[in-house]
Amino acid sequence: MRKDGGGLIFLMISHPLAQQLKLPFLSDLFASIQKQYPVFKELVPNDIPYDTKSSFSLYINHRKTFTGITDNDRSLTMMEFAALASAVKNIDSTTAMKKFGKEFRSPGHVPICIASEHLLRERKGHTELVISLLELAGLTPVGSGCEMMGEHGKALSKEDAKRYAENNNLVFLEGAEIIKAWTAWSK
């Protein structure tokens, strides 16, 4: 992801998992401490052109990482978070939070993005598309992602992304395809 993607590498998780672990949205956390740190009032993310607020939550590192920034450290953090999500699926929130705290620390180098509560009915971003796809497949609702960047410093065009998928024997899905399948499945 770092070499071929070039954008921010992050985790995407379901809203129910975030609630179970009591993960806040960073924008809500910052809003709650504006009196103590007035700079957060100036930095309110109220002008995001594609959304009403950011889906970012905490940034984490697994406790077995060193700096947390290396490819191996970030990979370990993401794999262990997915394992944690699977392990806490049927336990109470307090126990899940303690297990989370035992295995991870924050701040770290892997940001978590929380999918909207009503998924594609509410928002159609990368996070919701990935979580919807994972739900369709019956998999743990934790995915990793990275926006692909072109040589020009902007997001890779759809045509270039399709070419990349073809050249690397990968499946290319359009957001509209995922939305159509998820809409039919979730009725």
Q: How confident is the model at residue 122 (pLDDT cuts 50, 70, 90)?
A: confident
CA distances, 138 to each of 96, 131, 134, 158 (Å): 21, 10, 6, 27
Distance CA 54, CA 99 (A): 26
Q: How far apart are CA 113 and CA 164, in angstroms?
A: 25
Q: Closest by alpha carbon to 11, among 67, 118, 72, 85?
A: 85
pLDDT of residue 48: 78
pLDDT (0 to 100) of residue 94: 96
**Average pLDDT in the 10-32 region?**
95
Supply the pLDDT for residue 50: 73
> So what's the pLDDT on residue 52?
66
| Chain centroid to CA 127 | 6
Q: Which of 42-46, 116-120, 175-179 shows the lowest per-residue confidence on average (mean pLDDT)?
A: 42-46
Q: What angle do CA 50, 51, 54 make, to 5 degrees?
A: 120
Q: What is the pLDDT of residue 47?
A: 82
With a pLDDT cut of 70, the percent of the chain lying above it is: 99
The whole-model pTM stands at 0.92
- Is CATH 3.90.870.10 the right assignment for the domain spanning 6-185? yes
Q: In the predicted model, is pLDDT for residue 182 greater than 70?
A: yes
Q: At residue 89, does pLDDT exceed 80? A: yes
Please state the rounded mean pLDDT for residues 122-145.
Answer: 93
pLDDT at residue 37, rounded to an integer: 95
Does position 26 have pLDDT exceeding 80, yes or no?
Answer: yes
pLDDT tens figures, 151-173: 888 999 999 999 999 999 999 99
What integer pLDDT is reported at residue 16 of this predicted model? 96
